[in-house]
Amino acid sequence: MFSQVWKPLIYLHPLVSQVRMATIWGSLLQDEQQLESLAQQAVDRALAEGVLLRTKQQPSSSDVVNYAPFTLFPSLVPSALLEQAYAVQMDFNLLVDAVSQNCAFLEQTLSSTIKRDNFTARLFDIYKQVLKEGIAQTVFLGLNRSDYMFQRNADGSPALKQIEINTISASFGGLASRTPDVHRHVLNVLSKTKEAVKILSNNPSKGMALGIAKAWELYGSANALVLLIAQEKERNIFDQRAIENELLARNIHVIRRRFEDVSEKGSLDQDRRLFMDGQEIAVVYFRDGYMPSQYSLQNWEARLLVERSCAVKCPDIATQLAGTKKVQQELSREGMLELLLPGQPEAVARLRATFAGLYSLDMGEEGDQAIAEALTAPNRFVLKPQREGGGNNLYGEEMVQALERLKDSEERASYILMEKIEPEPFGNCLLRPGSPVRVVQCISELGIFGVYVRQGKTLVMNKYVGHLLRTKAIEDADGGVAAGVAVLDNPYPV
Protein backbone atom coordinates (compact mmCIF):
# COMPACT_ATOMS: atom_id res chain seq x y z
CA MET A 1 0.00 0.00 0.00
CA PHE A 2 2.72 2.43 1.08
CA SER A 3 4.87 1.64 -1.90
CA GLN A 4 1.88 1.99 -4.20
CA VAL A 5 1.37 5.53 -2.97
CA TRP A 6 5.04 6.34 -3.33
CA LYS A 7 5.66 4.87 -6.75
CA PRO A 8 3.62 7.35 -8.71
CA LEU A 9 5.11 10.18 -6.69
CA ILE A 10 8.64 9.14 -7.55
CA TYR A 11 7.51 8.64 -11.11
CA LEU A 12 6.15 12.17 -11.22
CA HIS A 13 9.25 13.69 -9.72
CA PRO A 14 11.06 14.63 -12.97
CA LEU A 15 7.91 16.27 -14.26
CA VAL A 16 7.47 18.29 -11.10
CA SER A 17 11.05 19.49 -11.15
CA GLN A 18 10.67 20.32 -14.85
CA VAL A 19 7.80 22.65 -14.16
CA ARG A 20 9.73 24.33 -11.39
CA MET A 21 12.77 24.58 -13.68
CA ALA A 22 10.81 26.20 -16.40
CA THR A 23 9.44 28.89 -14.12
CA ILE A 24 12.36 29.89 -11.90
CA TRP A 25 12.36 33.42 -13.40
CA GLY A 26 8.57 33.23 -13.64
CA SER A 27 7.52 36.17 -11.46
CA LEU A 28 10.21 38.37 -13.02
CA LEU A 29 8.84 37.64 -16.46
CA GLN A 30 5.50 39.13 -15.50
CA ASP A 31 6.68 42.60 -14.54
CA GLU A 32 6.86 44.41 -17.88
CA GLN A 33 8.26 47.66 -16.54
CA GLN A 34 11.04 45.88 -14.72
CA LEU A 35 11.84 43.84 -17.83
CA GLU A 36 12.27 47.03 -19.87
CA SER A 37 14.72 48.58 -17.47
CA LEU A 38 16.55 45.29 -16.95
CA ALA A 39 16.84 44.85 -20.72
CA GLN A 40 18.43 48.29 -21.07
CA GLN A 41 21.02 47.44 -18.45
CA ALA A 42 21.66 44.05 -20.03
CA VAL A 43 22.16 45.58 -23.48
CA ASP A 44 24.58 48.21 -22.18
CA ARG A 45 26.58 45.53 -20.40
CA ALA A 46 26.59 43.34 -23.54
CA LEU A 47 27.97 46.25 -25.56
CA ALA A 48 30.59 46.92 -22.90
CA GLU A 49 31.64 43.27 -22.80
CA GLY A 50 32.03 43.04 -26.58
CA VAL A 51 29.02 40.86 -27.40
CA LEU A 52 29.00 42.47 -30.83
CA LEU A 53 28.06 41.98 -34.45
CA ARG A 54 28.59 44.23 -37.42
CA THR A 55 25.31 45.50 -38.82
CA LYS A 56 23.34 44.09 -41.75
CA GLN A 57 23.71 47.44 -43.50
CA GLN A 58 27.51 47.60 -43.14
CA PRO A 59 28.79 44.02 -42.89
CA SER A 60 32.28 44.94 -44.17
CA SER A 61 32.99 47.67 -41.66
CA SER A 62 33.33 47.93 -37.90
CA ASP A 63 32.46 51.63 -37.93
CA VAL A 64 28.94 50.83 -36.85
CA VAL A 65 28.30 47.81 -34.66
CA ASN A 66 25.50 46.59 -32.45
CA TYR A 67 25.03 43.95 -29.79
CA ALA A 68 24.59 40.34 -30.84
CA PRO A 69 21.08 39.22 -29.85
CA PHE A 70 20.88 37.44 -26.50
CA THR A 71 18.39 36.30 -23.88
CA LEU A 72 17.61 38.55 -20.94
CA PHE A 73 17.86 35.62 -18.53
CA PRO A 74 20.07 32.53 -18.59
CA SER A 75 17.99 29.46 -19.44
CA LEU A 76 17.75 26.47 -17.16
CA VAL A 77 19.67 23.39 -18.23
CA PRO A 78 19.78 20.18 -16.19
CA SER A 79 23.34 19.77 -14.84
CA ALA A 80 23.27 16.08 -15.65
CA LEU A 81 22.71 16.80 -19.37
CA LEU A 82 25.40 19.46 -19.40
CA GLU A 83 27.79 16.95 -17.86
CA GLN A 84 26.73 14.26 -20.31
CA ALA A 85 27.35 16.57 -23.26
CA TYR A 86 30.82 17.44 -21.96
CA ALA A 87 31.59 13.80 -21.20
CA VAL A 88 30.86 12.64 -24.76
CA GLN A 89 32.78 15.42 -26.52
CA MET A 90 36.15 13.66 -26.60
CA ASP A 91 34.39 10.61 -28.04
CA PHE A 92 32.93 12.77 -30.80
CA ASN A 93 36.39 14.19 -31.49
CA LEU A 94 37.74 10.65 -31.87
CA LEU A 95 34.82 9.65 -34.05
CA VAL A 96 35.16 12.59 -36.45
CA ASP A 97 38.89 11.98 -36.67
CA ALA A 98 38.34 8.28 -37.35
CA VAL A 99 35.79 8.99 -40.09
CA SER A 100 38.09 11.52 -41.73
CA GLN A 101 40.81 8.86 -42.02
CA ASN A 102 38.50 6.15 -43.33
CA CYS A 103 38.44 6.56 -47.08
CA ALA A 104 36.33 3.44 -47.66
CA PHE A 105 33.68 4.62 -45.21
CA LEU A 106 33.47 8.12 -46.70
CA GLU A 107 33.39 6.77 -50.23
CA GLN A 108 30.65 4.27 -49.53
CA THR A 109 28.58 6.58 -47.34
CA LEU A 110 28.59 9.48 -49.75
CA SER A 111 28.35 7.50 -53.00
CA SER A 112 24.59 8.00 -53.47
CA THR A 113 24.65 11.58 -52.14
CA ILE A 114 27.34 12.85 -54.50
CA LYS A 115 25.36 11.64 -57.50
CA ARG A 116 22.60 14.08 -56.61
CA ASP A 117 24.15 16.81 -54.52
CA ASN A 118 26.48 19.02 -56.47
CA PHE A 119 28.08 20.74 -53.48
CA THR A 120 29.03 17.53 -51.66
CA ALA A 121 30.20 16.16 -55.01
CA ARG A 122 32.61 19.06 -55.48
CA LEU A 123 34.03 18.67 -51.99
CA PHE A 124 34.38 14.97 -52.65
CA ASP A 125 36.11 15.66 -55.93
CA ILE A 126 38.76 17.71 -54.13
CA TYR A 127 39.10 14.93 -51.57
CA LYS A 128 39.75 12.39 -54.33
CA GLN A 129 42.27 14.64 -56.05
CA VAL A 130 44.21 15.10 -52.82
CA LEU A 131 44.17 11.35 -52.14
CA LYS A 132 45.39 10.65 -55.64
CA GLU A 133 48.28 13.05 -55.37
CA GLY A 134 49.07 11.87 -51.83
CA ILE A 135 48.27 13.77 -48.65
CA ALA A 136 51.07 16.24 -47.91
CA GLN A 137 49.58 17.34 -44.58
CA THR A 138 50.98 15.53 -41.52
CA VAL A 139 49.41 17.49 -38.67
CA PHE A 140 45.61 17.53 -38.35
CA LEU A 141 43.49 19.91 -36.33
CA GLY A 142 39.82 19.57 -35.50
CA LEU A 143 37.78 22.42 -34.01
CA ASN A 144 34.22 21.22 -33.85
CA ARG A 145 30.97 21.90 -32.04
CA SER A 146 28.48 19.18 -31.27
CA ASP A 147 24.93 20.55 -30.90
CA TYR A 148 22.12 19.07 -28.83
CA MET A 149 18.54 19.66 -27.83
CA PHE A 150 16.79 18.35 -24.75
CA GLN A 151 14.15 15.87 -25.87
CA ARG A 152 11.16 15.69 -23.53
CA ASN A 153 10.62 12.00 -22.76
CA ALA A 154 7.17 10.51 -22.30
CA ASP A 155 7.62 10.74 -18.51
CA GLY A 156 8.52 14.43 -18.77
CA SER A 157 12.23 13.98 -18.10
CA PRO A 158 14.67 15.56 -20.57
CA ALA A 159 17.20 13.59 -22.66
CA LEU A 160 20.25 14.88 -24.51
CA LYS A 161 19.87 14.35 -28.28
CA GLN A 162 22.41 15.43 -30.86
CA ILE A 163 21.19 17.72 -33.63
CA GLU A 164 24.43 17.71 -35.61
CA ILE A 165 28.18 18.15 -35.35
CA ASN A 166 29.85 21.10 -37.06
CA THR A 167 33.32 20.29 -38.33
CA ILE A 168 33.86 23.53 -40.25
CA SER A 169 33.53 27.15 -39.10
CA ALA A 170 31.98 26.24 -35.75
CA SER A 171 31.22 29.72 -34.50
CA PHE A 172 30.33 31.77 -31.42
CA GLY A 173 33.16 30.39 -29.27
CA GLY A 174 34.37 33.97 -28.97
CA LEU A 175 31.13 35.73 -28.10
CA ALA A 176 30.14 32.88 -25.78
CA SER A 177 33.06 33.85 -23.56
CA ARG A 178 31.59 37.35 -23.13
CA THR A 179 27.98 36.52 -22.31
CA PRO A 180 28.43 34.99 -18.81
CA ASP A 181 29.25 38.42 -17.38
CA VAL A 182 26.15 39.88 -18.99
CA HIS A 183 23.87 37.35 -17.31
CA ARG A 184 25.72 37.66 -14.01
CA HIS A 185 25.12 41.39 -14.28
CA VAL A 186 21.39 40.93 -14.86
CA LEU A 187 21.10 38.66 -11.81
CA ASN A 188 23.19 41.01 -9.68
CA VAL A 189 20.94 43.93 -10.63
CA LEU A 190 18.10 41.81 -9.27
CA SER A 191 20.13 41.15 -6.09
CA LYS A 192 20.25 37.49 -7.08
CA THR A 193 23.91 37.20 -6.17
CA LYS A 194 23.74 33.52 -5.26
CA GLU A 195 22.20 32.75 -8.63
CA ALA A 196 24.76 34.96 -10.43
CA VAL A 197 27.59 32.83 -9.06
CA LYS A 198 26.06 29.76 -10.68
CA ILE A 199 26.60 31.07 -14.21
CA LEU A 200 29.48 29.03 -15.56
CA SER A 201 32.60 30.73 -16.85
CA ASN A 202 33.26 29.81 -20.43
CA ASN A 203 36.04 30.52 -22.91
CA PRO A 204 35.84 28.29 -26.00
CA SER A 205 37.88 30.70 -28.14
CA LYS A 206 40.85 30.32 -25.83
CA GLY A 207 40.72 26.54 -26.12
CA MET A 208 40.30 26.75 -29.88
CA ALA A 209 43.30 29.06 -30.09
CA LEU A 210 45.33 26.59 -28.02
CA GLY A 211 44.48 23.91 -30.58
CA ILE A 212 45.56 26.16 -33.44
CA ALA A 213 48.73 27.05 -31.50
CA LYS A 214 49.56 23.37 -30.98
CA ALA A 215 49.07 22.64 -34.68
CA TRP A 216 51.18 25.67 -35.57
CA GLU A 217 53.96 24.50 -33.25
CA LEU A 218 53.93 20.96 -34.68
CA TYR A 219 54.08 22.33 -38.20
CA GLY A 220 57.47 23.53 -37.05
CA SER A 221 58.34 26.73 -38.85
CA ALA A 222 58.90 29.68 -36.53
CA ASN A 223 58.06 32.34 -39.11
CA ALA A 224 55.00 30.70 -40.58
CA LEU A 225 51.57 32.32 -40.11
CA VAL A 226 47.99 31.29 -39.51
CA LEU A 227 45.74 32.10 -42.48
CA LEU A 228 42.13 32.78 -41.52
CA ILE A 229 39.89 32.51 -44.55
CA ALA A 230 36.79 34.67 -44.27
CA GLN A 231 34.65 36.90 -46.43
CA GLU A 232 34.91 40.63 -46.46
CA LYS A 233 31.24 40.91 -45.58
CA GLU A 234 31.49 39.26 -42.18
CA ARG A 235 29.10 40.37 -39.46
CA ASN A 236 30.51 37.93 -36.91
CA ILE A 237 34.05 39.32 -37.01
CA PHE A 238 34.38 39.92 -33.25
CA ASP A 239 33.81 36.23 -32.65
CA GLN A 240 36.70 35.47 -35.00
CA ARG A 241 38.88 38.22 -33.54
CA ALA A 242 38.65 36.57 -30.11
CA ILE A 243 40.61 33.62 -31.51
CA GLU A 244 43.02 35.86 -33.41
CA ASN A 245 43.69 37.82 -30.22
CA GLU A 246 44.41 34.67 -28.23
CA LEU A 247 46.90 33.59 -30.89
CA LEU A 248 48.63 36.93 -31.02
CA ALA A 249 49.00 36.80 -27.24
CA ARG A 250 51.06 33.65 -27.90
CA ASN A 251 53.08 35.44 -30.56
CA ILE A 252 51.40 33.60 -33.41
CA HIS A 253 50.43 35.96 -36.20
CA VAL A 254 47.19 35.62 -38.13
CA ILE A 255 46.41 37.04 -41.57
CA ARG A 256 42.82 37.30 -42.78
CA ARG A 257 42.26 36.65 -46.46
CA ARG A 258 39.38 35.77 -48.79
CA PHE A 259 39.33 32.75 -51.09
CA GLU A 260 39.74 35.26 -53.93
CA ASP A 261 43.01 36.50 -52.40
CA VAL A 262 44.27 32.93 -52.11
CA SER A 263 43.44 32.31 -55.73
CA GLU A 264 45.33 35.45 -56.79
CA LYS A 265 48.30 35.38 -54.45
CA GLY A 266 48.54 31.90 -52.97
CA SER A 267 51.10 29.40 -54.22
CA LEU A 268 52.77 26.08 -53.42
CA ASP A 269 56.50 25.41 -53.58
CA GLN A 270 57.93 22.07 -54.72
CA ASP A 271 57.43 20.62 -51.21
CA ARG A 272 53.81 21.77 -51.38
CA ARG A 273 54.35 24.37 -48.68
CA LEU A 274 51.64 27.02 -48.89
CA PHE A 275 52.63 30.65 -49.37
CA MET A 276 50.41 33.70 -49.22
CA ASP A 277 51.84 37.07 -50.27
CA GLY A 278 55.25 35.43 -50.03
CA GLN A 279 54.76 34.27 -46.40
CA GLU A 280 54.64 30.63 -45.38
CA ILE A 281 51.36 29.40 -43.90
CA ALA A 282 51.40 26.83 -41.11
CA VAL A 283 47.64 26.62 -40.40
CA VAL A 284 44.62 27.50 -42.54
CA TYR A 285 41.52 28.17 -40.45
CA PHE A 286 38.29 28.26 -42.48
CA ARG A 287 35.50 30.60 -41.40
CA ASP A 288 34.11 30.36 -44.92
CA GLY A 289 33.61 27.61 -47.47
CA TYR A 290 30.77 25.58 -45.95
CA MET A 291 27.95 26.70 -48.28
CA PRO A 292 27.58 26.50 -52.08
CA SER A 293 27.03 30.26 -52.34
CA GLN A 294 30.51 30.84 -50.90
CA TYR A 295 32.22 29.22 -53.90
CA SER A 296 32.82 30.73 -57.28
CA LEU A 297 34.91 28.74 -59.75
CA GLN A 298 37.89 30.77 -58.58
CA ASN A 299 37.14 29.90 -54.93
CA TRP A 300 36.95 26.18 -55.70
CA GLU A 301 40.39 26.44 -57.27
CA ALA A 302 41.71 28.23 -54.19
CA ARG A 303 40.25 25.54 -51.94
CA LEU A 304 41.94 22.84 -54.02
CA LEU A 305 45.27 24.67 -53.82
CA VAL A 306 45.02 24.92 -50.04
CA GLU A 307 43.98 21.26 -49.69
CA ARG A 308 46.93 20.06 -51.77
CA SER A 309 49.36 21.90 -49.50
CA CYS A 310 51.11 20.53 -46.42
CA ALA A 311 49.66 23.32 -44.26
CA VAL A 312 47.39 22.20 -41.41
CA LYS A 313 43.85 22.77 -42.62
CA CYS A 314 41.11 23.30 -40.10
CA PRO A 315 39.29 21.36 -41.28
CA ASP A 316 40.93 19.34 -44.03
CA ILE A 317 38.53 18.33 -46.78
CA ALA A 318 37.99 14.82 -45.33
CA THR A 319 36.99 16.25 -41.96
CA GLN A 320 34.55 18.62 -43.62
CA LEU A 321 32.98 15.61 -45.35
CA ALA A 322 32.88 13.79 -41.99
CA GLY A 323 30.54 16.54 -40.80
CA THR A 324 27.90 16.01 -43.49
CA LYS A 325 24.40 15.03 -42.47
CA LYS A 326 24.65 11.90 -44.59
CA VAL A 327 27.66 10.74 -42.55
CA GLN A 328 25.75 11.51 -39.34
CA GLN A 329 22.88 9.33 -40.53
CA GLU A 330 25.14 6.43 -41.53
CA LEU A 331 26.97 6.59 -38.18
CA SER A 332 23.69 5.81 -36.43
CA ARG A 333 23.40 2.51 -38.32
CA GLU A 334 23.84 -0.57 -36.15
CA GLY A 335 27.47 -1.66 -35.86
CA MET A 336 28.96 1.46 -37.48
CA LEU A 337 30.37 3.01 -34.31
CA GLU A 338 31.87 -0.33 -33.31
CA LEU A 339 33.55 -0.52 -36.70
CA LEU A 340 34.98 2.97 -36.49
CA LEU A 341 35.98 2.88 -32.82
CA PRO A 342 37.01 -0.74 -32.29
CA GLY A 343 37.71 -1.82 -28.72
CA GLN A 344 36.02 1.26 -27.23
CA PRO A 345 32.61 0.02 -26.10
CA GLU A 346 32.20 2.74 -23.47
CA ALA A 347 32.79 5.54 -25.94
CA VAL A 348 30.40 3.82 -28.35
CA ALA A 349 27.69 3.63 -25.66
CA ARG A 350 28.13 7.30 -24.71
CA LEU A 351 27.90 8.35 -28.35
CA ARG A 352 24.92 6.19 -29.18
CA ALA A 353 22.96 7.47 -26.17
CA THR A 354 22.90 10.92 -27.79
CA PHE A 355 21.66 9.77 -31.22
CA ALA A 356 18.15 10.64 -32.32
CA GLY A 357 16.41 8.58 -35.01
CA LEU A 358 18.16 9.08 -38.38
CA TYR A 359 16.95 7.55 -41.64
CA SER A 360 18.48 7.11 -45.07
CA LEU A 361 16.40 8.17 -48.06
CA ASP A 362 18.50 6.24 -50.58
CA MET A 363 16.46 4.42 -53.24
CA GLY A 364 15.15 1.10 -51.95
CA GLU A 365 12.92 -0.43 -49.34
CA GLU A 366 14.49 1.26 -46.30
CA GLY A 367 14.11 4.71 -47.82
CA ASP A 368 10.56 3.95 -49.01
CA GLN A 369 9.58 2.97 -45.51
CA ALA A 370 11.10 6.11 -43.95
CA ILE A 371 9.20 8.28 -46.44
CA ALA A 372 5.95 6.44 -45.74
CA GLU A 373 6.38 7.00 -42.00
CA ALA A 374 7.18 10.68 -42.42
CA LEU A 375 4.12 11.16 -44.62
CA THR A 376 1.93 9.46 -42.01
CA ALA A 377 3.29 11.49 -39.07
CA PRO A 378 4.95 14.62 -40.50
CA ASN A 379 5.23 16.33 -37.12
CA ARG A 380 7.63 13.71 -35.89
CA PHE A 381 10.32 14.29 -38.56
CA VAL A 382 12.67 16.82 -40.13
CA LEU A 383 13.92 16.58 -43.72
CA LYS A 384 17.54 17.68 -44.11
CA PRO A 385 19.60 18.37 -47.22
CA GLN A 386 23.44 18.34 -47.12
CA ARG A 387 23.70 21.96 -46.09
CA GLU A 388 25.12 24.04 -43.25
CA GLY A 389 24.33 27.46 -41.89
CA GLY A 390 20.65 27.15 -40.97
CA GLY A 391 17.40 27.68 -42.84
CA ASN A 392 17.68 24.64 -45.10
CA ASN A 393 15.67 21.98 -43.29
CA LEU A 394 12.05 21.24 -44.06
CA TYR A 395 9.28 20.65 -41.53
CA GLY A 396 5.54 19.93 -41.51
CA GLU A 397 3.60 20.73 -44.67
CA GLU A 398 6.73 21.85 -46.54
CA MET A 399 8.39 18.54 -45.75
CA VAL A 400 5.33 16.63 -46.96
CA GLN A 401 5.32 18.51 -50.25
CA ALA A 402 9.03 17.91 -50.73
CA LEU A 403 8.71 14.21 -49.97
CA GLU A 404 5.80 13.84 -52.39
CA ARG A 405 7.90 15.48 -55.07
CA LEU A 406 11.07 13.54 -54.28
CA LYS A 407 9.79 10.14 -53.44
CA ASP A 408 10.17 8.53 -56.87
CA SER A 409 13.32 10.42 -57.80
CA GLU A 410 16.95 9.59 -57.09
CA GLU A 411 17.28 13.15 -55.87
CA ARG A 412 15.93 11.99 -52.52
CA ALA A 413 19.35 10.47 -51.76
CA SER A 414 20.73 13.97 -51.25
CA TYR A 415 18.54 14.32 -48.14
CA ILE A 416 18.27 12.50 -44.83
CA LEU A 417 15.30 12.20 -42.54
CA MET A 418 15.62 12.86 -38.82
CA GLU A 419 13.40 12.40 -35.82
CA LYS A 420 12.20 15.80 -34.66
CA ILE A 421 13.33 16.69 -31.15
CA GLU A 422 10.61 18.26 -29.01
CA PRO A 423 12.01 20.05 -25.97
CA GLU A 424 9.89 21.48 -23.17
CA PRO A 425 9.32 25.18 -23.94
CA PHE A 426 9.95 27.90 -21.33
CA GLY A 427 9.56 31.65 -21.11
CA ASN A 428 12.41 34.12 -21.72
CA CYS A 429 12.97 37.48 -23.47
CA LEU A 430 14.97 37.50 -26.69
CA LEU A 431 16.77 40.85 -26.92
CA ARG A 432 17.39 42.07 -30.45
CA PRO A 433 18.31 45.54 -31.69
CA GLY A 434 15.15 47.36 -32.67
CA SER A 435 12.75 44.78 -31.21
CA PRO A 436 10.40 45.34 -28.28
CA VAL A 437 11.10 43.51 -25.02
CA ARG A 438 8.55 40.76 -24.61
CA VAL A 439 8.36 37.30 -23.15
CA VAL A 440 8.12 34.44 -25.62
CA GLN A 441 8.04 30.67 -25.37
CA CYS A 442 11.49 29.33 -26.19
CA ILE A 443 13.64 26.25 -26.66
CA SER A 444 17.41 25.98 -26.37
CA GLU A 445 20.21 24.22 -28.22
CA LEU A 446 23.42 23.38 -26.38
CA GLY A 447 26.73 23.15 -28.25
CA ILE A 448 29.99 21.77 -26.85
CA PHE A 449 33.26 22.81 -28.47
CA GLY A 450 35.85 20.10 -29.03
CA VAL A 451 39.50 20.38 -30.08
CA TYR A 452 41.91 17.70 -31.19
CA VAL A 453 45.31 17.61 -32.85
CA ARG A 454 46.83 14.57 -34.51
CA GLN A 455 50.38 14.21 -35.79
CA GLY A 456 50.58 11.32 -38.23
CA LYS A 457 48.83 8.53 -36.35
CA THR A 458 49.39 9.99 -32.88
CA LEU A 459 46.68 11.99 -31.18
CA VAL A 460 48.49 14.72 -29.27
CA MET A 461 45.46 16.68 -28.04
CA ASN A 462 41.84 15.72 -27.40
CA LYS A 463 39.66 17.93 -25.24
CA TYR A 464 36.48 19.89 -24.74
CA VAL A 465 36.94 23.63 -24.43
CA GLY A 466 33.60 25.19 -23.59
CA HIS A 467 29.97 25.50 -24.54
CA LEU A 468 27.43 27.63 -26.36
CA LEU A 469 23.77 27.88 -25.48
CA ARG A 470 21.48 29.32 -28.14
CA THR A 471 17.79 29.95 -27.59
CA LYS A 472 15.00 30.67 -30.04
CA ALA A 473 11.26 31.18 -30.07
CA ILE A 474 9.35 27.93 -30.56
CA GLU A 475 7.74 29.15 -33.76
CA ASP A 476 11.15 29.42 -35.48
CA ALA A 477 11.80 25.88 -36.60
CA ASP A 478 15.25 26.27 -38.12
CA GLY A 479 18.37 28.32 -37.91
CA GLY A 480 21.00 29.67 -35.57
CA VAL A 481 22.27 33.04 -34.34
CA ALA A 482 23.95 33.99 -37.60
CA ALA A 483 20.74 33.19 -39.48
CA GLY A 484 18.95 35.66 -37.18
CA VAL A 485 16.73 33.09 -35.49
CA ALA A 486 18.45 31.99 -32.29
CA VAL A 487 20.09 34.29 -29.75
CA LEU A 488 23.04 33.83 -27.39
CA ASP A 489 22.28 32.44 -23.96
CA ASN A 490 23.97 30.80 -20.97
CA PRO A 491 23.00 27.59 -19.22
CA TYR A 492 21.79 28.05 -15.68
CA PRO A 493 22.58 24.61 -14.28
CA VAL A 494 19.84 23.02 -12.17
Q: Which of 91, 97, 164, 195 binds ligand ADP (CB under 6 A)?
A: 164
Query: What SS3 state is found at 458?
Result: strand
Given 152, 256, 258, 325, the catalytic residue: 325
Question: Catalytic site residue 244?
Answer: no
Q: Which of 59, 390, 484, 493 binds ligand ADP (CB under 6 A)?
A: 390
Question: Catalytic site residue 307?
Answer: no
Give 168 or 186: the residue with its C-beta nearer to ligand ADP. Answer: 168
Residues 426-485 that bind ligand ADP (CB under 6 A): 445, 478-480
Give 141 or 356: the residue with its C-beta nearer to ligand ADP. Answer: 356
Question: Catalytic site residue 364?
Answer: no
Give 210 or 485: the residue with its C-beta nearer to ligand ADP. Answer: 485
β partners of residue 314: 285
DSSP 403-457: HHHHTTSGGGGGEEEEEPP-PPPEEEEEE-TT----EEEEEEEEEEEEEEEEETT
Nearest-CB residue to ligand ADP? 421
CA 389 to chain CA centroid, Å, is 9
Minimum CB separation from ligand ADP for residue 320, in Å?
12
Inter-CA distances, 194 with 71, 154, 184, 212, 409, Å: 20, 33, 10, 36, 58
Question: Catalytic site residue 260?
Answer: no
Q: Please work out, in degrees rounded to the nearest 5, the angle formed at the alpha carbon of residue 380 by the alpha carbons of 350 and 419.
A: 25
Would the CA dihedral through 57, 60, 64, 69 be positive or negative? Answer: positive
- C-alpha span between 53 and 137 (Å, rounded): 34
The dihedrals phi and psi of 163, each to the nearest 5 degrees, come to: -90, -50
Stretch that binds ligand ADP, among 47-55, 120-128, 247-255, 388-396 (CB under 6 A): 388-396
- How many CB atoms within 10 Å of residue 300? 17
389 near ligand ADP, judged by CB under 6 A = yes
Query: What SS3 state is found at 213?
Result: helix
165 near ligand ADP, judged by CB under 6 A = no
Residues 313-372 that bind ligand ADP (CB under 6 A): 356
Give 224 or 418: the residue with its C-beta nearer to ligand ADP. Answer: 418
Given 156, 357, 389, 391, the catalytic residue: 389
Query: What 8-state DSSP symbol labels residue 357?
Result: -
Question: Catalytic site residue 145?
Answer: yes
Residues 134-153 that bind ligand ADP (CB under 6 A): 147, 149
Residue 357 and residue 160 in contact, taking contact as beta carbons nearer than 8 Å: no
Q: Which of 373, 392, 402, 473 binds ligand ADP (CB under 6 A)?
A: 392
310 near ligand ADP, judged by CB under 6 A = no
By C-alpha distance, which of 371, 484, 470, 478 is closest to 173? Answer: 470
Given 66, 93, 146, 171, the catalytic residue: 171
Site for ligand ADP, rule CB under 6 A: 147, 149, 163-164, 356, 382, 384, 387-390, 392-393, 418-421, 445, 478-480
Catalytically annotated residues: 145, 164, 166, 171, 325, 384, 388-389, 470
